[in-house]
Amino acid sequence: MTAAVCIQNLHKVYNSLHVVNDLSLTIQPGESFGLLGPNGAGKSTTIRMLTTLTQPSDGHLVVAGHDVQRDPTDVRRQIGVVLQQTSVDGDLTVWENMELHGRMHHIPNPQRQNRIDEWLGFVELSDRRESKVKTLSGGMKRRLQIARALLHNPQILFLDEPTVGLDPQARRRLWEIIRSLNQQGMTMLLTTHYMEEVEFLCDRIGILDQGKLIALGTLAELRQQHGEGILMRQTGDRWDYQFFPTLADANTYFEQQSDKTGMMTRPSNLEDIFVELTGRNLD
């Protein structure tokens, strides 16, 4: 099976700083892949290189079977992109934004109108088609960005911080939309600052730090590698964490302690692993 995304020895250097440093990974068709990392880790830069918006300093990128540097136009035909910045035109209506995007992709009528109706219905914006975008909530604008990105039937959807700044209800609705698309076979590459977003949406996870890939696998694989159980010990106003292979191992160690004050055990989660690897919280 041909990979949907293939990254080999990718580098991006700005003013002698390696923003992305020898990154290699593969994403399979239909996979939902989450890219995590603290601010400045290189996540958005990687997305921009894969989507032809930024030239790599070195390395080889293939997206939907096309070389990103040699065939950027062919790549753009096969991808949908939702960047963290709101990129829809606030002075146009919802329908006009979709119509403009459809014409730019040379989608003929009546197919273009049918697709606009289909995707506005999918993201629950049919009743706002005549509304100016500047009157929409943040969540509605993000849903419009997703609908617009899907209008030309891309193979791969790139989502860079798709729910940043949204309230919990809007974020959950977007999760449902994104998960439904993936269940229908859409390949996705997602960057986010929300651990629970990755746990809910992604099949596999890559963790970037200072431009380098420092962990790769499913959540179950990462927990198995680093420990499925944790002992938490309160020291003053901070908590110390100790990983154990299983929760049962953590509980056994806990029971052996003569003084259990300020101690507790629980299963490990993605945030625990992230902090263990990077030494700091995601934000």
What is the rounded distance in angstroms from the CA atom of residue 5 to the CA atom of residue 224?
A: 26
The reported pTM is 0.90
Residue among 51, 56, 62, 61 at smallest CA distance from 19 = 56
What's the pLDDT tens digit per position in 61-92? 999 999 999 999 999 999 999 988 888 999 99
* Count of beta carbons in the 10 Å neighbourhood of residue 27: 23
What is the rounded distance in angstroms from the CA atom of residue 101 to the CA atom of residue 98?
A: 5
What distances in angstroms separate CA 24 from CA 20, 21, 37, 212, one per listed residue?
Answer: 10, 9, 16, 9
What's the pLDDT tens digit per position in 165-206? 888 888 899 899 999 999 999 999 999 888 899 999 999 999
What's the pLDDT tens digit per position in 131-155? 999 999 999 999 999 999 999 999 9
The answer on pLDDT for 282 being more than 60 is: no
Query: According to the model, what pLDDT value does residue 283 have?
Result: 45
Two tokens, residue 135? 């009157």
What is the rounded distance in angstroms from the CA atom of residue 214 to the CA atom of residue 195?
A: 17
Mean of the per-residue pLDDT values of the chain: 93
The letter for the amino acid at 61 is L
Residue among 154, 155, 152 at smallest CA distance from 111 = 152
Query: According to the model, what pLDDT value does residue 280 have?
Result: 58
What's the pLDDT tens digit per position in 11-22? 999 988 999 999
Domain boundaries, the chain: 5-218, 228-267
What end-to-end distance do the CA atoms of the chain give, in Å?
A: 36
Give the CATH architecture of domain 5-218: 3-Layer(aba) Sandwich (3.40)
Contact 230, 245 (CB under 8 A): no
